[in-house]
Structures are given as C-alpha cells and as structure tokens.
Structure 1
C-alpha cells in the first residue's frame, strides 16, 4: 500500500491562515437602519482515502463546506425589508477534484458563484430572485447536532471522485459520488416565494434554470415545507421537499425529508431519507435512508465539543439492484477565540452490484473551518 502526500502552496497558506486571530465583524451600518456585512470562511482539510489497494493523502479545500467570501446588504423599504447577497467560492483545489489518477483542478469558474440574490420580505412573506437556493435546498439536511459540521446526510464531500476497485484491484467501479446522494435541493437562477412562519411552519416554492453550466436548458421546480419548534426544552426541526428536473418532458423527480431533535442533555437524533423517479431510458430509481446519533457538551473552556456516529443505506444507485452502505464517526471542537471548528472524521463505504462486489473504501478527514 502506497501513500502520497500532495500539498499545494496555495492550500498550505490557507491552512496557516486558520491560526490567525478571529477578525472583528465586518459590518457597516447606515443612518436609515440598513447595513452591509462582509463574511467568509476557509475550510482546509487533510483528506486520506484508502481504496483497498492504495492510499491517497491530500491537503484540499473541503467540499463539505467550501471556502468562500460573501457580502450581504439589508435595507428597510417602507414596511418591508430589501436584501441582496453575493457569495462565491474561492476556487481553491477542492476535495471533489482528486481521484486515484491524480488531480483535475479547474481553478475558479462561474460555477463557483453561489449567490447573486435579491429579495423583498414583509408580513406577507418573502419573494426572491436571482442565483440562490431553490425551495428544497436543505430539505435533506435538517440537523441540530453540533457534529453536523463534519457528519451529515451527504457522505461524499471528501472523496466524491474516488473510484471503487473490483476484487482484482482494477479501478472499474463507479465513483463514491455515483453511489451516494441525499437528493437535497440545489442553487439555481430562480424565482422563489416563502410564506410567513405560522405556528412553526414555513412553505416555499421555486422555479429556476441552471445558468452556470453551459448546455443545461432544463427547467427545475420544487416545493418544500419546514417546521421548527421547541418542546419542553428540546429543539425540533424537520423539512420535506419535492423537486423536478424537466428535460423537454422527460422528468426526474425527488422526494426527500429529514428531521432532527436536540435534547437538553446534549443528546441529538437525526434521520433523513429520499427516493428518485427518473423517466429517462435506462435510468435507475435509487432511494436511501440515513440516521445519526450525536452528543455535545462544554467539556473544555475554549469551546463546545460535539461527537457522533451515522449510518447510510442506499439501493439502486448506479445500477438497479445495487447496494450502498456507509457509516462514520466524527468529532468537532469549537475554538471560540479564533472562531474555528476543528474536526476529525472516519468513514467507510461499501458498494456491490450485479457486476462485482467491489473493495471497501475508507476516508480520514482532519480539517479546520475558520469563519469571519
């Protein structure tokens, strides 16, 4: 088994920056109740992937929550409030851009634009337009656990492009990203409406297109219902979403939901699940369920600690009749003085289909997310 540590100068400098003191909030207020806020984060991680024959270790920007910078503007507008948000990824070497054959780092591109979003909000709800979250974005990720910073319902952020090896050691299988999905909603150039909150419930609808990827002329539309409340000191959050991708009448639809509860003791329970129905010829209709148990506490004077274990079970990804299993453990430690979350995770992935029982793949991640 070989090991290869690849560290680029840009990402090494990024890692060093997490040791800098936390910056003061970059917020600028005007005399009419409005403000401009500049924010961002850096999230470098050492990621080691073992495919059963070879180990690849790299220092990369973690796609779980990639490094970014943004600007938010809020301004009262009569009885309403006007908002604008611009946010972009930094285009650093990313954990999705590496596999056993090397790096295919693309640099910054327009697909790194996350938000160019305008909205108007009042007692009647909120209307949004521009590049931003569709209604079902986050519907698979209702998660109140502190360890959710590092472990959540999508398991392939750190090793998305890595390929499974067959029993002979050949890279003939699908990628990790091809056999795991949470069916969570996306960001598009869209129009969206959110209702006012009513007894903890909020509903959303949206229609949009993928203008950041050339050649994608499909229509996307979705709806979601969210709920959040507190019961006897326990926090509860849940979401359900329905989304459709329409390609000239050939539709792919997803139903997804998630729920999470955080008890006063620090114990948390999170579940998620979803299914897909694809009209395209030869397409499979995968589904999955997910569960996590977490615990958090103030064990150290410098910040909160979260630990957890999660499990993922999927079927019919990549090929009908296939089976996907994933599990992992993780810990997250807050360092308040520099506003940084330091995290360590270990995850294993198993996949089999009618072609072969592929070798298991495992991943260690040690990272630090610094926010300003």
Structure 2
C-alpha cells in the first residue's frame, strides 16, 4: 500500500481521534435521551504467504472504525429507542490482499444499524437494519482478546490468497475456508423474550436491504444463556439459520460456550457449527485476564480452529495468539496478535503453502 494512502489513513484516524475527544467533552447528562458514540481502530498488519510479505495499514475489521447514536424514549414512550450506526469506509483489514488495494469508500452497505426497538417487561422487538438472531452465536467469549482473536478468523486477512507449493497464487482465500458460520445483519423483524432463569429465546425474519441483487429470505432462531455465581460466569449460545434462495434452502447450526473463573481470570471458550451441505468447524480458546499493571485489564489467549468441507474438499487449520492491554481511564486498548494458517486438499490435487499473519494496533472509544 502506497505512502500517500498510509498518510491518508493516519490523517483520518488522527482527525477522528481529536474529534472524539471533543465530543467527549460534551456532557451526555445534558440530554440522557440522546447519546453519540464511536470508535477509531487502526492497525498495522503483516501477511507472510510463504513467498513474500505484504505489509499494510488498515481498519481492524474485527471491530471497525464507526460512529453512531442512540435516541431513547421516543415520543415520550419509555422503552421505544432508535439506534443508528455506520462504519466510515476506511480500508478494512479483511479486504487487503496480494493483488488488491481497497479504496476509501462509503456507501449504504457500511450502515450497520438503522434500528427501532421497543422493550417491554416480557420482551424486546426490533424493526430495521440490525443483527439477526444468530448474530454472535459463534462468539461467546470472556477472554478480552476479541480485537485480535475470535472464531471469525477471516476478519484479519480474509481476502489473502493461498499459494501452492510451487509459489503461485491460487484462487483460494482465507475467507473461503476459515468461516465460523455466525449470523449477520439484515433488514429484519426480530423478537427476544425477557430472560427466564438466565435463558433468552430469539427469532427473526429478514431480507438483504443494503445490497442490490439479493432476493433471498432469511430466518433465524436462537437461545442464549447467562449465569454466574461467586466462582464462575457462564455464557452459552445456540442458533439455527435458514436461507431460502432461488436454488434451494441452506441451513446451518452454530453454538458457543464461554466460562470465566472469576477469582483467577482464567477463561475458556468453545464454538462450532455445521452446514446442511456437510461443512463443519470447531474452535477452542483458553486465556487469562488480570489487572497486572494497575492501568486496566491485561488479556492473553491462545486459540485453535479447524474446518472440514466448508469449501469443497479442503481442511483448514489455524493457531493464534492474542494480547490486549486495556487503559480503563482512557477508553483505550492496545493489542498484538499473530496467527498461523494451514490449508490442505483431501483429494491431493493441490498442495498449499502455510501462511502467517501479524497484527499490531489500538482502539479508542468515545
């Protein structure tokens, strides 16, 4: 990526950071029905594809640079809220590759939420662009390292191409084979029940309203559990998603479980999913989170991912390390991550080189 574009990215992130400090000086207490928020999250990345390195500065796609606002208790109706949120079109970490350099661009697909919600004592209704019921069902996690390590492996470098053992670029990308089958955001109707002994049930139906040419119908159902005592905190998620297309129906089931030992900060997470086409994956993570430095939580984790048949006859494996240092008084986090990728073809037709990825960055919230 050229020096000019690097300077543009640094410049935009600096302006956003200064603007966020300015926005933070306006007391939210002046109007507790309106809340403006956002974050800046640039990162520096290196991808070693086995032949050459690609170095690039980009927006961290695990939690992208964004702005938004809440307007609460609309029409003086308690529980009736509106949330707007959009990414800012900064070049993203998942769109860079050996052969592509993403452009600075904002269009309507960058809108994350345009969401009207109404919350009652027996549940919550959602209408508009936002999360389907299975969004997040693959990512129960107490590790604190989500900025560099989750089951969404392709967020870091999804567009990069694997090379064959002869050194030539293939057509296989990281995002082709490293998928967690997690739900997404759509224009939808959704309802979540109130919590019952820690359990919440959710259902949604949606359509793609931000991208042209997609006439699919989407249906999700999910159940969530949260529980804790003096020793441990538990979160569990399970969901199924159906997509009706002109070619037939696609169905996938996803689940995840996270456990935190409250006293020691030791934690673990497990997730997995399968498609009706036969593809499946499993992801496991262990970590520890502690305030060792006295400035905020320090989080460290190791994880492992394996998929089989997510893309044809390919088996994909990955091992990752994540480190995140929080600075609680500053709403600031610094992070480092590294990841190893392995891809193999069960038919033996093609052999692929291993790849490695490194990430260094920081996120500021306002």
Scaled by the length of structure 2, the TM-score of the pair is 0.93
What is the DSSP-based 3-state SS (H/G/I as helix, E as strand, rest coil) of the residue aligned with 1:300?
coil
What is the DSSP-based 3-state SS (H/G/I as helix, E as strand, rest coil) of the residue aligned with 2:9?
helix
Q: How does 1:195-206 map to 2 (within 5 A)?
A: 195-206=193-204
1:348 aligns to 2:340 (yes or no): yes
- State the partner residue of 1:272: 271
What is the DSSP-based 3-state SS (H/G/I as helix, E as strand, rest coil) of the residue aligned with 1:333?
strand
What is the DSSP-based 3-state SS (H/G/I as helix, E as strand, rest coil) of the residue aligned with 2:163?
coil
What is the DSSP-based 3-state SS (H/G/I as helix, E as strand, rest coil) of the residue aligned with 2:238?
strand
Contact kept in structure 2, 1:4 and 1:55, CA below 8 Å: no
- State the partner residue of 1:293: 286
Q: 1:109 Cα deviation (Å)?
A: 1.2
- Alpha-carbon separation, structure 1, partners of 2:232 and 2:128: 36
Q: 1:97 Cα deviation (Å)?
A: 2.2
What is the DSSP-based 3-state SS (H/G/I as helix, E as strand, rest coil) of the residue aligned with 2:145?
helix
- State the partner residue of 2:360: 366
How many pairs does the alignment contain?
A: 360
Q: 1:291 Cα deviation (Å)?
A: 0.4
RMSD (CA atoms): 2.1
Q: 1:104 to 1:257 in 2, by over 3 A?
A: same
Q: 1:87 to 1:95 in 2, by over 3 A?
A: same
- Alpha-carbon separation, structure 2, partners of 1:358 and 1:257: 30
Q: How does 1:29-48 map to 2 (within 5 A)?
A: 30=31, 35-48=33-46
What is the DSSP-based 3-state SS (H/G/I as helix, E as strand, rest coil) of the residue aligned with 2:194?
coil
- Alpha-carbon separation, structure 1, partners of 2:203 and 2:225: 15
Contact kept in structure 2, 1:97 and 1:105, CA below 8 Å: no
- Alpha-carbon separation, structure 1, partners of 2:360 and 2:4: 15
Q: 1:235 Cα deviation (Å)?
A: 0.9
Contact kept in structure 1, 2:193 and 2:202, CA below 8 Å: yes
Query: Does 231-240 or 198-207 show the bigger shift?
Result: 231-240
Q: 1:352 Cα deviation (Å)?
A: 1.1
- State the partner residue of 1:224: 222
Q: Structure 1 residue aligned with 2:327, among 306, 323, 335?
A: 335
Contact kept in structure 2, 1:343 and 1:368, CA below 8 Å: yes
Q: How does 1:145-224 map to 2 (within 5 A)?
A: 145-224=143-222
User: Where is the helix percentage greater, Structure 1 or Structure 2?
Assistant: 2
Q: 1:209 Cα deviation (Å)?
A: 0.3
- Alpha-carbon separation, structure 1, partners of 2:151 and 2:15: 29
- Alpha-carbon separation, structure 2, partners of 1:288 and 1:123: 37
- State the partner residue of 1:247: 245
- State the partner residue of 1:258: 256
Query: Does 57-66 or 20-29 show the bigger shift?
Result: 20-29
Q: 1:231 Cα deviation (Å)?
A: 2.8
- State the partner residue of 1:27: 28
What is the DSSP-based 3-state SS (H/G/I as helix, E as strand, rest coil) of the residue aligned with 1:63?
coil
Query: Does 87-96 or 101-110 show the bigger shift?
Result: 101-110
- Alpha-carbon separation, structure 2, partners of 1:44 and 1:221: 34
Contact kept in structure 1, 2:62 and 2:146, CA below 8 Å: no
- State the partner residue of 2:68: 70
What is the DSSP-based 3-state SS (H/G/I as helix, E as strand, rest coil) of the residue aligned with 1:64?
coil
Q: 1:317 Cα deviation (Å)?
A: 2.4
- Alpha-carbon separation, structure 1, partners of 2:309 and 2:244: 21
- State the partner residue of 2:123: 125
Q: 1:93 Cα deviation (Å)?
A: 1.2
What is the DSSP-based 3-state SS (H/G/I as helix, E as strand, rest coil) of the residue aligned with 1:128?
strand
Q: 1:74 Cα deviation (Å)?
A: 1.3
What is the DSSP-based 3-state SS (H/G/I as helix, E as strand, rest coil) of the residue aligned with 1:299?
coil
- Alpha-carbon separation, structure 2, partners of 1:19 and 1:191: 35
Question: Which 5+ residue runs of structure 2 have no aligned equivalent?
Answer: none
Contact kept in structure 2, 1:7 and 1:58, CA below 8 Å: no
Scaled by the length of structure 1, the TM-score of the pair is 0.92
Question: Which 5+ residue runs of structure 1 have no aligned equivalent?
Answer: 279-284
Contact kept in structure 1, 2:152 and 2:178, CA below 8 Å: yes
- State the partner residue of 1:51: 49
What is the DSSP-based 3-state SS (H/G/I as helix, E as strand, rest coil) of the residue aligned with 2:274?
strand
Q: 1:101 Cα deviation (Å)?
A: 1.1
Q: 1:42 to 1:78 in 2, by over 3 A?
A: closer
Q: 1:9 Cα deviation (Å)?
A: 2.4
Q: Structure 2 residue aligned with 1:103, among 83, 101, 115?
A: 101
